Structure 1
Amino acid sequence: MARAMRERGFTLLELIITMIVLMIFTMVAIPVAKNTIKRQREIELRRALRELRTAIDRYRQIADAGLVNRLRINPSEECMGGTIGTGCYPPDLDVLVEGVELRGTTGRKIKLLREIPVDPMTGKAEWGLRSFQQDPEARSWDGLNVFDVYSLSDGVALDGTRYRDW
């Protein structure tokens, strides 16, 4: 009988040690999993920003080459002829999805984006916009053109920078 009591006590001790080890593993695994998820979302944000900025740059190249129908560019701004080139940027992000009508063609468009990507930090297809004329620190868009995009999230990245500053 005494032996049976010792065996039950030893089994209880094993159970307690096992539970403590599992709790330690859980306490380590949860932050690692959260960081992994956050890192993945940051990778998605970088990809979305790169996709948008590449489409804006491509629009600029097409406009610089004189291939864009001028109706979609602010006529008060000159895109060619050695000026600053502020008119060569798209008027909004929707133009990149709807397509840019080429000069000298009827109805022929070049679509630069399939869709406006979703900001993984906010879960919405909404982005902060900045025009060529705006100060880099400006947080409200003046509506002239789209020179740059940024996330509307106020979150902080794993490296300590703010997502809106990317």
Structure 2
Amino acid sequence: MSRGLRHGRRNSGFTLVELLVCLAILGLLASVALPMSEMTVQREKERELKRNLWEIRDALDAYHRACEDRAIIVSPDQSSYPKNLVDLTRAIPDARADRQGQTLRFLRSIPRDPFADPDVPADQSWALRSFQSEADKPQAGADVYDVHSKSRATGLNGIPLNRW
């Protein structure tokens, strides 16, 4: 009787074929998930790049408006845009008569280009365009009119990041 029970009892566990099928399915799922996760990381970096570009460009425009409103005094031969990005974070005395003793700041800190080398300081992570340079051939100069990424990568939208 004990002999019949031993043969009737089924061994628990997986066969080698079942394990190989499970491993193949897991490998297939991983090969699909990896490109999706890489695309998600790329998309997040692009969102951060877009936010940082807007933040810096808004600060550059605010600095320019402050010069036009005579809150910042510049000489006639000087540009109404900052000389560098660090100027946007410095406390600049407000030159308007009703605001004596007050200061202007346009950024708390300079956002960094998320595609730049993390060892590069944030203000040096951007390519700069001066007011005098052409839009299709941006060049650095005596002032900072605009910024763009130094990255040669192409965005998910097909446009090179340095053209954003």
Q: TM-score, normalised by structure 2?
A: 0.81
Q: If you compute each CA radius of gyration, which structure gives the higher value, 1 or 2? A: 2
- Whether 1:134 aligns to 2:133 is yes
In structure 2, distance between residues paired with 1:62 and 1:146: 15
- Aligned AA (1:130): R
Question: For residues 14-43 of structure 1, what are the alpha-carbon distances to aligned partners after superposition, in whole Å with 9 as ceiling and x for unaligned?
Answer: 111101100000000000000000100000
Q: 8 Å contact 1:69–1:100 — kept in the other structure?
A: no
Aligned residues: 149
Q: Give me the CA root mean square deviation.
A: 2.3
The percent identity for this pair of structures is 33
1:33 to 24, 37, 41: 37
Question: For residues 62-100 of structure 1, what are the alpha-carbon distances to aligned partners after superposition, in whole Å with 9 as ceiling and x for unaligned?
Answer: 111111132xxx5414xxxxxxxxx22222111101133
In structure 2, distance between residues paired with 1:146 and 1:50: 15
Partner of 1:17: 21
Partner of 1:64: 68
Name structure 2 gaps, 5 residues minimum: 1-6
4+ residue segments displaced more than 4 Å? 104-107
Partner of 1:84: none
Partner of 1:83: none
